[in-house]
Amino acid sequence: MNFASDNIVGASAPVLQALVQANSGALPAYGNDEITKRVKARFADIFEHEVAVHLVTTGTAANALALASAVPPWGLCVCHQEGHVIDDECGAPEFFMHGAKLVGLPGVGGKLAADDVASYLKSLPKAVKQMPPKALSISQVTECGLVYSLDEIKALGAVCREHGLSFHMDGARFVNALVSLDCTPAEMTWKQGVDILSFGATKNGCLMAEAIVVFNPALAEALDYRAKRAGQVVSKGRIISAQFEGYFADDHWYANARHANRMAKLLSEGLSGIPGVRLGWPTQANEVFPIVPKAIDQALKATGAHYHAWTDVSLPADERVGPDEALIRLVTSFATTEAEVRQVVDIARSALSRQAAE
């Protein structure tokens, strides 16, 4: 039972098949091959917009290069205090932004509220001594498993426009959010003001395939040079684009995300039906954050189940993790089975009944 993350499994079958198919024969290097050209055109179809697309190997590279395109060395980039960009990338965005800084704001469930961002921006002194805000970055899905609604993204987009900020979306779990909102990729991005997107695919069936998708042409200008300087122009570029070809074919990416989200819903319902268990945040995509009695945490660990303890800093104000409780994160993927979900729920339930009997 491994619920540590959605990157703990390999590729899904159609992705692997596309990769094997793309392996044979000689093709131009550095992304000048036909597969890469087809995939870039497919991104434009998917987003119903002209886009510049850069294929990279990690989400960190996508975020760091996207933000470097949006923020000059003297600028600030606003994000959530728990955002992957500020918390989990070892300073890569700041490294590639050459001096610019990330500023993390609080918000329940990893979400930034438009009013809070606007108040923060208004509070900043405007003097040559102060770094001016130049971009906003949000994670869709958030680090607490929540999905911004279209209205919430739109409101943040409006704040960005009003204050002259570029709007970046970290979409490491992009399609899990799409499925949750039942909207189109265009509706979740540029139609609400998003300028540049880190489009994740690794967590949902690819081996290592992420894309920087640029809607605002002004931000695309130097991205190919930035990517090359970061070692992110892969010579056998077809190895990344083939993964995307398999990923997009027959809406395979949607099928994978629907499955992952459905498994999370099952897990969430199963666990929250156990007395003494409640959710830190509602389950909206493929991550479940239960607050469990320590007896359950210990019983799960004893069976070798993998998952992570989680921070409580973004819990709602009226929610606290008690001394005999643990807040944990369980992530489902395209490969999670119903049997695995049932096993976790059964272990959790019997741990509590054992405790009651003692």
- Three-state DSSP class for 114? helix
Q: In angstroms, give the least distance from the CB of 203 to ligand PLP.
A: 7
Report the distance separating Cα 101 and Cα 277, nearest Å: 39
Question: Which stretch of DSSP H or E encloses residue 55?
Answer: strand 52-56
The nearer residue to ligand PLP, 45 or 88, going by C-beta atoms, is: 88
Q: Which is nearer to ligand PLP, 202 or 268 (CB)?
A: 202
Q: Under DSSP, is residue 202 helix (H, G, I), strand (E, B) or coil? A: helix
Residue with smallest beta-carbon separation from ligand PLP: 59
- Considering only CA atoms, which of 89, 243, 269, 290 is closest in space to residue 170? 89
Q: Which of 14, 31, 59, 133 binds ligand PLP (CB under 6 A)?
A: 59
SS3 label, residue 330: strand
Which of 54, 80, 84, 349 binds ligand PLP (CB under 6 A)? It is: 84
Q: Kindly tell me which of 139 and 336 has the beta carbon lying closer to ligand PLP.
A: 139
Q: Does 170 bind ligand PLP (CB under 6 A)?
A: yes
Instruction: Scan residues 290-349 and list those touching ligand PLP (CB under 6 A).
Output: none
Report the nearest approach of ligand PLP to the CB of residue 95 (Å): 13
For ligand PLP, the closer of residues 121 and 227 by Cβ is 227
Site string for ligand PLP, 202-241 (x = CB under 6 A): x---------------------------------------
Q: Which of the residues 114 through 143 are near ligand PLP (CB under 6 A)? A: 139, 143
User: Site for ligand PLP (CB under 6 A): which residue of 1, 31, 40, 60?
Assistant: 60
d(C-alpha 201, C-alpha 252), whole Å: 11
Half-sphere exposure of 340 (CA within 13 A, CB side): 19
Residues 172-201 that bind ligand PLP (CB under 6 A): 172
Task: Give the CA distances from residue 237 to residues 33, 50, 208, 224, 243, in Å, rounded to whole numbers and listed in that order.
Answer: 8, 21, 12, 13, 10
CB of 197 to ligand PLP, least distance (A): 12
Q: Which is nearer to ligand PLP, 135 or 274 (CB)?
A: 135
Query: Where does this chain touch ligand PLP (CB under 6 A) — which range of 57-65, 242-250, 332-340, 347-355?
Result: 57-65
Cβ distance 138 to 112 under 8 Å? yes
Alpha-carbon separation of residue 102 from 135, 219, 236, 248 (angstroms):
9, 18, 33, 33
Instruction: Show the tokens assigned to 123.
Output: 């509070």
